[in-house]
């Protein structure tokens, strides 16, 4: 299989796994506000609300949970925070919600995992 075909297959699989995450989150009581949102600060896989939580959810599929967590670099975490904050600034109905960055992981042979507030915002000086 050539590189383009491999990339296409990976994107197609990734999209399927994002749909799995969407259904699972809805079954857990989340209201989906956006899916594959492109913002000036970065892309948000899933934007969802549950109660007063506004969740920017990053979906990752890797061979292990550890690999999935490690695949979200500090720079990507910061982009996710900035994208969420930008959405809150543009949409007053989102501004009152508590912003969290969640990680939804899919690992072969295991149930999907939804890590709430996986990447806490750390203030830097």
Residue 55: which residues within 8 A CB-CB, separation 6 or more? 30, 46, 47, 48, 49, 100, 101, 102, 116
The answer on pLDDT for 124 being more than 50 is no
Dump pLDDT digits (tens) for 55-64.
999 999 999 9
**Can you say whether the dihedral through the CA atoms of 22, 102, 82, 80 is positive or negative?**
negative
Examine the pLDDT at 96 and tell me if it is beyond 50. Answer: yes
CATH of 3-115, one of 2.60.40.2700, 3.90.1150.10, 3.40.1780.10, 3.40.1350.10: 3.40.1350.10
Please name the residues in contact with 99: beta carbons below 8 A apart, sequence gap of 6 or more: 54, 56, 81, 84, 85, 88, 121
Answer yes or no: is pLDDT of 122 > 60. Answer: no
Please tell me the pTM assigned to this model. Answer: 0.86
Could you state, in order of their start, the residue ranges of all structural domains in the chain? Answer: 3-115
Q: When comparing pLDDT for 52 and 121, which is higher? A: 52
Quick check: 60 and 118 in contact, CB under 8 A?
A: no
> Which pLDDT tens digit goes with each residue over 11-47?
777 778 889 999 999 999 999 999 999 988 889 999 9
């Amino acid at each position: 299989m050539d590189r383009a075909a491999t990339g296409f297959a990976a994107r197609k699989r990734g999209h399927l796994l994002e749909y799995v995450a969407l259904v699972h989150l809805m079954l857990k009581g989340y209201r989906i506000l956006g899916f594959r949102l492109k913002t000036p600060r970065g892309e948000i896989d899933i934007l969802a609300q549950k109660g007063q939580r506004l969740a920017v959810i990053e979906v990752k599929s890797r061979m292990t949970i550890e690999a999935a967590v490690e695949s979200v670099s500090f720079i990507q975490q910061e982009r996710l925070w900035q994208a969420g904050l930008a959405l809150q600034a543009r949409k007053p109905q989102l501004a009152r919600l508590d912003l969290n960055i969640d990680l939804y992981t899919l690992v072969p042979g295991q149930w999907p995992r939804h890590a709430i507030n996986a990447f806490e915002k750390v203030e830097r000086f």
